[in-house]
Each structure stands twice: as C-alpha cells, then as structure tokens.
C-alpha cells in the first residue's frame, strides 16, 4: 500500500513539474507557394501542406494561404479579418507574400510603398491580439543564368520584407535567400525535381505535361517546409520546442 502511495505521489510531482503545454495555433498567411492544393492540381504542393506534420499535439496549423493572393487582395477579400478574430494569445502568424504583389501586370499588384504598409498592418494587428508575427520573404523561383547560377527573382520585394522585419523588430525567415542556396547547390537539372515538372502523359492532371518553376512538387514542398522549420529552431523561437520529427514509415 505504501509503495502505491509513493508511486502516486511521484506521478503527481512529475505532472506538476512538467505541466501540459498550452495549445496554440500557427496561422499561415500567403499565396500559392504555401496553400493547400485541390486534388486536380496534384502533384503541385504548397509548402504549408507538409509543414503541418512536424508539430506535436499542442500545435494546430491553420493554413489560410490562397492561390494568387497578395498582401492587398488577401485583406480585400475578407480573408484576414476572420484570422484576426480567431487569434489567441500565444498564437503565431507566418506571413509570406510577394509573388503576386510584385508583378505590375497582375490585378493583385501592390506598389512597394503599399506592400510595406500592408505588411505593417499584418504585424500590428497580430501583436494587438498578443500573438507573434513572423515575416517570410517570398520563396525563390527556379531561374538559372547561362553559366548555371541561380538568379534573384524577388530582389526588391524580398528586401522590403527584410526592412519591415528589422524596423518592426519581428522574426524574419529569409526563405528567398535560403531557397536560392538550395537551388544553387542542387544545380539547374536536379532542382527541377523540386518543382511541378511533368512530361506529357506522366500524370492525368497534366496530360500535356507541365514546366512550372514557381510551384512545388511534393519533394520541393517538403524541402521548403524543412527550411522554415530549421530557421525556427536556429532562431530559437519559443514555439521551436514543439517541433517533432515524424517517424519514418
């Protein structure tokens, strides 16, 4: 009987010493490079899709990224307001725009000054809810020069993200720079496996084939998610303690 009492006391002490972590949400806000894809788009994969598999049970990932959206259109379409309404103290908001903001010919175009203003709005309204904003530079496109070196495709807008993060003193994941490094290391030929490249007849969703150097294959999405996760750990963001490595099947 005494041994049972001792065992119960030890369990209580352990439970008190290691209380369960408070549940939180990580909200992903951005464009098609992150978003959840329709089955008809497969094997195109947003990096937010594998990202959900690297967290313990105390974390829920809310992937609200949408194809083709910019900092402005995401707000105009009333996609941001519901997120702000749902934010709880301790949550995180990962913000990655730029692909659609930077192209003047697109309806989603956002001039540089406005891009900065919108990023500041996301940060301010996230902080107002006592949640943590994390800015992410737009992930690199696969574009190599004639000598086989990766080319910068987001120079202006990626730098704007860096500037805003520094001025607002928020965490920055420089996915533009880090993904360029990965593509450079892999080289022009091998890096194609990271993107939605398909030969004619290779997949029923793309009977004519596909050469897309912006959107990812499953492998590419996984690699980009791993870059983001590695940066969360390297920067020792508090949420990094909740990252897990999925068991291999």
Residues labelled as active-site residues: 32, 211, 215
DSSP one-letter string for 108-150: T---HHHHHHHHHHHHHHHHHTT-EEEEEPPPPP--B-TTS-B
Q: Does an H or E element contain 63, and which?
A: strand 59-63
Q: Are 95 and 122 in contact (CB under 8 A)?
A: yes
Residue 196: CB atoms within 10 A of its CB come to 25
Sign of the dihedral through C-alpha 122, 30, 180, 61: positive
DSSP state of 24: E
The residues pairing with 94 across neighbouring beta strands, listed in sequence order, are 28, 134
Three-state SS for 172?
strand
Cβ atoms of residues 188 and 229 within 8 Å: no
Place of tokens 């050469």: 211
């Amino acid at each position: 009987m005494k041994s049972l009492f001792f065992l119960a006391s030890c369990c209580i002490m352990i439970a008190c010493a290691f209380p369960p972590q408070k549940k939180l949400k990580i909200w992903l806000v951005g464009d098609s490079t992150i978003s959840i894809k329709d089955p008809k788009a497969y094997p195109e994969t947003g990096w937010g899709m594998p990202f959900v598999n690297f967290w313990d049970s105390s974390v829920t990932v809310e992937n609200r990224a949408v194809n083709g959206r910019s900092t402005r259109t995401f707000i105009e379409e009333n996609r941001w307001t519901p997120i702000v309404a749902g934010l709880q103290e301790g949550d995180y908001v990962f913000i990655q725009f730029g692909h659609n903001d930077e192209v003047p010919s697109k309806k989603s175009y956002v001039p540089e000054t406005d891009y900065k203003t919108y990023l500041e709005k996301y940060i301010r309204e996230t902080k107002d809810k006592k949640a943590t904003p994390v800015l992410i530079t737009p992930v690199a496109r696969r574009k190599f020069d004639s000598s086989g070196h990766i080319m910068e495709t987001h120079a202006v807008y990626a730098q704007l993200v860096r500037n805003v993060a520094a001025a607002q003193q928020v965490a920055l994941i420089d996915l533009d720079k880090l993904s360029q490094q990965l593509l450079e290391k892999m080289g022009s030929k091998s890096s194609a496996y990271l993107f939605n490249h398909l030969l004619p007849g290779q997949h029923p969703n793309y009977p004519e084939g596909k050469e897309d150097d912006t959107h990812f294959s499953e492998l590419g999405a996984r690699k980009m998610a791993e870059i983001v996760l590695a940066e969360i750990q390297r920067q020792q963001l508090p949420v990094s303690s909740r990252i897990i490595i999925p068991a291999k099947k």
